[in-house]
Amino acid sequence: MNLSVENTIAQPVGTTLERYIMRKQAEFQFATGELSQLLRDIALAGKIVNREVNRAGLTSIIGSMGQQNVQGEAQQKLDVEANIRFIRALTNGGEACAVLSEEEDDIIQTGNRQGKYVVAIDPLDGSSNIDVNISIGTIFSIYRRVSPVGEAATAADFLQGGRQQVAAGYILYGSSTMLVYTTGHGVAGFTYEQSLGEFFLSHPSITIPASGTVFSCNEGYWFDYPEYVRQYLTECKRQGQSGRYVGSLVADYHRNLLTGGIYLYPPTGKNPNGKLRVLYEGFPLAYLIEQAGGRAETGTGAVLDIVPTDFHQRTPLFVGSPELVGRLLAPLQGAPARDLLKQTAPQPASTAQPAA
């Protein structure tokens, strides 16, 4: 056969997630296969959730459940679906001894007491966007357990701190579905090929640009933001930078990771300790962004240096390109400037007319 013709009609399809994991397994100090299986289990559940997301409008799984989750937020039907899928995959995979989900109040014991790992997961981030067809995602974090193997997992397994993560990542369900993860040796991204049912390596070594021209935040909270945040955003606008905010954390984070930018969820009067969850959002995304050369901060220190005390603890989050995060936090250098953390904007005067 003519080699030029053969090369044209038989192009390689790329490296599958499965093959990539096996090749990289030796980089992990406890390379016995369990972590690799865990990542495969997460990918499998992601494929199932991707299918449900893609056909949500054709089934009865869009809309609200009419109840709240443990976070006090309206629970969507697909939240419940995703939660079940990931817990089931991690239970059946046999490597996770326990799972902690944003949708649940307490530890879920899988029955796999010989398992050496625990998984903290936000099964479906941005689920309020499901009904309007905006990108959503899954965020996960993996720890090597500290409790004795053979016994039930304990709170200590999940409250080790962000720097004890052995793997973390997210799955983005968008125009294409992507799985992005790190095991502490850089960041790799995989795109899902629907017809083959496989994730293929599409972004072999992701590094966030040192700077960027995008800021992502909910400016509807402008008058409740700390003064240093409003000053920073004002300067961004003066410089002609672009405001890009989808309202799904994974989607905004992913865009800024690839193109450069900063995502902000500052403390507010309503949420003085921040709104995003340390275990399910803060730690995994901070671990990943640091591996990609970026920064993740709270305003008083690195996100990964938080000492967690509660499963559903919250934090402010400033994450993205190192130069942008550094510029935002520059006013906080030095003890006196830390008072800026408590400052919010004066509320606009009421336009209501006095009663006659």
CA distance 235 to 124: 34
Are 34 and 95 spatial neighbours (Cβ–Cβ below 8 Å)? yes
Q: Checking DSSP bridges between strand 96-101 and strand 117-125, what pairing results, if any? A: parallel
pTM score, whole prediction: 0.88
Are 265 and 275 spatial neighbours (Cβ–Cβ below 8 Å)? yes
Architecture of domain 17-203: 2-Layer Sandwich (3.30)
pLDDT, one tens digit for every residue, the chain (356 residues):
555 555 567 667 789 999 998 888 776 666 567 888 999 999 999 999 999 888 765 455 454 544 555 555 556 788 899 999 999 999 999 999 999 999 999 999 999 999 999 999 999 998 778 777 889 999 999 999 999 999 999 999 999 999 999 999 999 998 899 999 999 999 999 999 999 999 999 999 999 999 999 999 999 999 999 999 999 999 999 999 999 999 999 999 999 999 999 999 999 989 999 999 999 999 999 999 999 999 999 999 999 999 999 999 999 999 999 999 999 999 998 644 445 445 554 444 443 333 33
Binding site per annotation, positions for Mg(2+): 102, 122, 124-125, 281
Q: What totals of helices (H) and strands (E) does the chain contain, helices first?
A: 9, 17
Most distant CA pair in the chain, distance: 93
How many other C-beta atoms are found inside a 10 Å radius of the C-beta of residue 112? 18
Binding site per annotation, positions for substrate: 125-128, 218, 245, 263-265, 275
Does domain 214-342 fall under CATH 3.40.190.80? My reply is yes
Q: Judge residue 149's burial from the number of C-beta atoms within 10 Å of its C-beta, 0-12 exposed, 13-18 middle, 19 or more buried.
A: exposed
Residue 186's region, left for phi above 0, alpha for psi from -120 to 50, else beta, is left
Binding site per annotation, positions: 102, 122, 124-128, 218, 245, 263-265, 275, 281
Question: In the chain, what are the domain boundaries?
Answer: 17-203, 214-342
